[in-house]
Amino acid sequence: MFNSSLVSHFVLGAYIDIGPFKYAAFLILLLMYGGILLSNLLLIVIICLNRTLHEPMYLFLCSLFFNELYGSTAIFPMLLFQILQDNHEVSSVMCLLQIFALYSYGGIEFATIALISYDRYLAICCPLRYNSIMTPNKIAGLIALTWCYFILLNIVITYGLIAPLTLCGNILRKVYCDNFYVVRLSCFDTRLNNIFGLTHVFAVILGLILLIIYTYIRILHVCLNGSKQTRQKALSTCTPHLLSLMNFSFGAFYEIMHSRFDTLALPNPLRVFLSLYWLIVQPLINPLVYGLKMNKIRLILRMLLCGK
């Protein structure tokens, strides 16, 4: 796969030898993965089958939950397999597939969160024009654009910029395959990769961040100058989104810092946990946050549980 006969596989060097406790860790991870699959699938089914939830906000949430199923499946099966192994190796093909899946998951997650913030801005700040702006065709187009853009982008990154690299090593100090760690193994100049990465950060990610900041400045302005009812409505609809945004931002920011700067001062178990945070905790808490905080979803869940 790579331009080096020496690299047909990678060694994931951040795994810790915990002896017989690995079976307990395997069981915990399996239960977490099962919980993620069950909760996200349940909410997707509820949104799809209930016409009262066929609104822009819930359609964006449906895309978010589907993406979390996608991202979880990119990380958990390999973690479950590797934690029981003594030799933590992964083929170069599987490594590239995981890099592609994880980074497209991260991009789609952040872009969908930005779309939800835009939707909340329109609902609170422009209620009279909301239905004319957020038409079904526009919602479908925004969701399709988000998925297509980040999938195509990561095809270019993974198979256009990473796969052609000539590597001088195969040990990754991670428990999963990471784009930046593979690039650091290159024998030659990786300036093109760096330029592409920085360009994308400033052109797309910074744009999404500015969109989120702008929408919440406008929402805050409306809340401060509006009635008590307006503030309560904004609080009830924006709280789950803000919790999801802050949680994902924390995990993603740490992962960026961890990949680019030396964090050896931290204990290895803590480094491993924090590097997995954005991949594991986000899919776990989002169904809970939205399922418990969004009134319509909470009412339908209560009806289902009560058998009514």
Query: CA-CA distances (angstroms) from residue 77 to 34, 68, 94, 98, 172?
Result: 11, 14, 12, 11, 18
The residue among 294 and 249 whose pLDDT is bigger is: 249
Residue 262: both structure tokens together:
């030396």
The residue among 162 and 66 whose pLDDT is bigger is: 66
pLDDT at residue 282 greater than cutoff 70: yes
Q: Residue 263: what pLDDT? A: 60
Read off the pLDDT of each residue in 275-285 and give the average, rounded to a whole number.
89
Q: What is the H or E stretch that residue 46 is in?
A: helix 21-49
Q: Residue 262: what pLDDT? A: 62
Residue 133: both structure tokens together:
């702006």
Q: For 158-205, how does the pLDDT look when each residue is reduced to its tens digit (9 = 90+)?
A: 777 787 888 888 888 889 998 888 888 888 777 777 777 777 777 788
Q: Do 212 and 117 contact (CB within 8 A), yes or no?
A: yes
Q: Residue 5: what pLDDT? A: 47
Domain ranges of the chain: 9-306
- DSSP-derived secondary structure letter, 186: B
The residue among 264 and 197 whose pLDDT is bigger is: 197
Architecture of domain 9-306: Up-down Bundle (1.20)
What is the chain's percent helix, strand, coil content, to nearest 5? 75, 5, 20
Amino acid, single-letter form, for residue 155: I
Helices (H) then strands (E): counts for the chain:
11, 3
pTM for the complete prediction? Answer: 0.90
